Amino acid sequence: QVLEQESMRVFYFSIHNARPPLNDVHFRQALAYAFDYDGFINDILKGAVARNPGPNPNNLWGAPKDLKGFTFDLDKAKAELAQVKEPLRPITVGALAGFSESEQSATLLQNTAKKIGIDIKIESAPWQVIQSRMQDKEKNYDLVPLWKSTYYVDPNNWVGELYGTRYIGTRNYSYNSDPELDAWINEALLTSDQAKRQELYEKAARKVTDDAMGIFVYNTKWYGPYAKNVAGIRFSPIGSGQDMRWAYFN
């Protein structure tokens, strides 16, 4: 038996929001329109993942249910690029060496971005090197395709830590600092009202998505192959995705 479950592990491009020309929302939006989401998910990954248009996992509260996100549209990408005032320059993507999806997504974006006049250079390096550089505002890459896993099941694990100013230097590798976004994130951390928290995190997710603070691609799916006489399997978004406390043999 195989149990399929959409997990909470978001694959996205971290974008250095504090460095020209990536600090221009139109340049980031051009990149977001230039990524072939369907091609990557359906052709390269054979549909083994679920499209995830925003920073929070689809299957978690705090992710707007009507959020469409960006689609692959080179005409819209060109239109956004035409509004960029900063001079263009080659963009460097740091891909995780040995992680095929990180390297493949970087190559895909390199090929499509070239069609709208954005030159991308790819540097593959081990995670330790990538992480070390991401923690330095000056040495960080322009973009890094990677995953944000479930360390705790709360929207703050994603939209809060990835884009809140308070997390710069720890989880916020985009060096994004937005006062309006910070106000929503901080208020959500201070209240225990679930409905209010959901409203705040949905607003934050919309702003992060619309302003293309990152390029959000997919949410992983968990596939648990088990012998037919194993029962009681429960999915867990934390760690390996398996909560084995409930498992037993028939």
Q: Compute the average pLDDT of residues 69-83.
A: 98
The answer for residues whose C-beta is within 8 angstroms of residue 235's C-beta and 6 or more apart is 3, 5, 7, 222, 224, 241, 242, 243
Q: Compute the average pLDDT of residues 218-222.
A: 91
CA–CA dist 220, 95 (Å, integer): 18
* Residue 156 pLDDT class (50, 70, 90 cuts): very high
Tell me the pLDDT tens digit for each residue of 194-209.
999 999 999 999 999 9
pTM above 0.85, yes or no: yes
In this predicted structure, the answer to whether residue 58 has a pLDDT above a threshold of 70 is yes
